[in-house]
Chains A and B, each alone.
Chain A
Amino acid sequence: MIYKQTKISELKYINGEFMFKKNAFKCKNTKLLLSAFTLLSITLIASCSGGGDTEFTVIKGAEIGAFNQAQANMGKKIFSEKCASCHKYDIKLVGPPLGTVVKRRSTDYILSQILHPDKMIANNDTTKALLAKFLTQMPNQHLNMIEAKAVLMHLTDVSNGGGK
Chain B
Amino acid sequence: MKRVLWLFGAVVIVTSMIILITACPSTKKDGVASDAASKVYVAPGEYDELYGFFSGGFSGQISVYGLPSGRLFRVIPVFSVDPEKGYGFNEETKAMLNTSHGFVPWDDAHHPEYSMKAGMPDGKWVFINGNNTPRIARIDLTTFRTTEIIELPNSAGNHSSPFGTENTEYVVAGTRFSVPIPNEDVEISKYAEKFKGALSFIKVDPNNGSMDIAFQILMPGFNYDLSRSGKGKSHGWSFFSMYNTEQASTMLEVNASQNDKDFIAAINWKKAEEYVKQGKFKEFTSSYVHNYIDPNTHMAVSEKRNKVKVLIPSECPGLVYFIPTPKSPHGCDVDPTGEFIVGGGKLATVIPVFSFDKMIKAIGANKVDKVIDGIPVLNYQSVIAGEVEKPGLGPLHTEFDANGFAYTSMFVSSEIVKWSLKDFKVKDRIPTYYSIGHLMIPGGNTVKPYGKYVIALNKITKDRYLPTGPELCQSAQLFDISGDKMKLLLDFPTIGEPHYALAIPASLIKEQQLQFYKMEENKNPYRTIKEADAKVVREGNVVHVYMTSIRSHFKPDNIEGVKVGDEVYFHVTNLEQDWDVPHGFAVMGNTNSELLIMPGETNTIKWMPKEVGIFPFYCSDFCSALHQEMQGYVRVSPANSKTKLSWNN
Contacts and interface: CB of A to CB of B under 8 A. Distances in A.
Contact of A84 (B532, B576, B578, B625): B532
A81 B529 contact: yes
A86 B577 CA distance: 14
B552 A84 contact: no
Q: Which of A135, A137, A139 has the most CB of B within 10 A?
A: A139
A135 B625 contact: yes
Nearest to A117: B578
Contacts of A86: 550-551
Contacts of A136: 551-552, 624-626
B626 A135 contact: yes
B550 A85 contact: yes
Contacts of A137: 551, 624
A93 B576 CA distance: 17
Given A135-B624, A141-B578, A94 B551 contact: yes
Interface in A1-25: none
Interface string A113-134: 0000000000000000000000
B575 interface: yes
B577 A85 contact: no
Contacts of B577: 82, 139-142
A139 B530 contact: no
The interface residues of chain B, by DSSP majority, are classed as loop
A142 B624 CA distance: 19
A80 interface: yes
Q: Which of A84, A136, A137 has the most CB of B within 10 A?
A: A136
Contact of B553 (A80, A94, A140): A94
B597 to A, nearest CB: 14
Interface string A99-125: 000000000000000000000000000
B418 interface: no
26 contacts: A80-B532, A81-B519, A81-B529, A81-B530, A82-B530, A82-B577, A84-B531, A84-B532, A85-B531, A85-B548, A85-B550, A85-B575, A86-B550, A94-B550, A94-B552, A94-B553, A94-B626, A135-B624, A135-B625, A136-B626, A139-B550, A139-B551, A139-B577, A139-B578, A140-B577, A142-B577
Interface of B: 516, 518-519, 529-532, 548, 550-553, 555, 575-578, 581, 624-626
Interface of A: 80-82, 84-86, 94, 135-137, 139-142
Of all A-B residue pairs in the complex, the 10 with the closest CB atoms, nearest first, are A81-B530, A85-B550, A140-B578, A141-B577, A135-B625, A85-B531, A142-B577, A136-B624, A80-B530, A139-B578
